[in-house]
Structure 1
Amino acid sequence: MKIFIGYVSMSGNTEDMANILKETLLECGCEIDLLDLETVDLHSLNSYDCLFFGAYTWGDGDLPYEVEEFFDDLKKLNLNGVKAACFGSGDTLYPKFCMAVDIMAASLQEQGCDVFEGKLKVELSPDEDEEVDECRQFAKLVYQWANKGEKLTYV
């Protein structure tokens, strides 16, 4: 299975999450392209079996400015039926914890993507074993869902 993992990270937290997802999916036998979303050729996205998008939440629950244009440009693509999953880091001190993850998922659904029901949201950085395990479990569940087309629930 060919998987794209695209992310944007300011402090490195979301990048750490992306790397955990990559390592886990490599163990599943997947071919992975891991890229900063600012460097992605949009038209290459149709060549993947599953897309992972990750971002930190900026300000009052906003997408980071670095990816606003990316998600606007994404509307030009036909993504009907493309499997996708969303993840990100945030800080519960802000009232809209990890809202960028929800914004990305909604945007992808509007574009016709089949978006994995669960969303991976991590407080700050995946430093603790529990958070690393949560990232690994998310990757495995999305892999199973995308590989078999089954709707699995992420807890």
Structure 2
Amino acid sequence: MATAKVVYASMTGNNEEIAEIVEEALESLNVDVETTEISQADPADFEDSDICIVCSYTYGDDGDLPDEAVDFYEDLKDIDLTGKVYGVCGSGDTFYDDFCKVVDDFAAVFEQTGATKGSDVVKVDLSAEAEDIEHLEKFVSEIVAKQSAL
């Protein structure tokens, strides 16, 4: 059975909800999932999982990392995740010019780790609506399919 580690950062609860949607979709595909808030996680935890997923929000006008995600983000750069499959999703507010910039930032760091991209990133405007849930479920199924093919 494949294993997945889902790490999330959530200020308003939107990304916690997204992480739960991702977790449920993974479980429906018979993946053993562990979900952790980012301040309680260590990037080295990804080394013990087949699938690595980050759900994060973008903070402020300049598209900043959440304070609680900075150490995780920096430490992720030093991990070798060759043979793992990753995905990144998150919510933001389209009011800001740098809508969901942190989602793209995490995807770029995952590329540096040697992990394989499992799916295109998913960006949600504020909270997940029905269409967003469909996108997240497709995101998960693509990641699981990519992991199965490795």
TM over 0.5: yes
1:80 counterpart residue number: 82
| 2: CA distance, partners of 1:27 / 1:117 | 18
Query: Which 10-residue stretch deviates more, 128-137 or 22-31?
Result: 128-137
Q: In the alignment, residue 107 of structure 2 is paired with which amino acid? A: A
| 2: CA distance, partners of 1:140 / 1:66 | 29
Name the Cα RMSD after superposition. 1.3
Q: In the alignment, residue 73 of structure 1 is paired with which amino acid? A: D
Identity of aligned residues (%): 32
Q: CA deviation at 1:55?
A: 0.4
Query: Which 10-residue stretch deviates more, 66-75 or 91-100?
Result: 66-75
1:135 counterpart residue number: 136
Encode CA deviations 1:44-99: one digit per residue, 9 max, x unaligned: 22110010011001111121111111111123322233211100001110011100
SS of 2:90's equivalent in the other structure is strand
Q: Does 1:71 align with 2:67?
A: no
Gaps of 5+ in 2: none
| 2: CA distance, partners of 1:45 / 1:129 | 29
Q: In the alignment, residue 92 of structure 1 is paired with which amino acid? A: T
SS of 1:70's equivalent in the other structure is helix
Query: Which 10-residue stretch deviates more, 97-106 or 40-49?
Result: 40-49
Contact 2:118 2:142 in 1 (8 A): no
TM-score by length of 1: 0.89
Which of 117, 121, 124 pairs up with 2:123? 121
Structure-2 change in CA distance of 1:133 and 1:117 (3 Å): closer
Q: CA deviation at 1:43?
A: 2.7
SS of 2:77's equivalent in the other structure is helix
Gaps of 5+ in 1: 150-155
Query: Counterparts in 2 of 1:43-62, with a 5 A limit?
Result: 43-59=44-60, 60-62=62-64
| 1: CA distance, partners of 2:3 / 2:77 | 22
Query: Which 10-residue stretch deviates more, 97-106 or 61-70?
Result: 61-70
Encode CA deviations 1:123-151: one digit per residue, 9 max, x unaligned: 0000x2212212112111111122214xx
How many residue pairs get matched? 148
TM-score by length of 2: 0.92
| 2: CA distance, partners of 1:90 / 1:38 | 19
1:153 counterpart residue number: none
Q: Displaced runs of 4+ in structure 1, greater than 6 A?
A: none
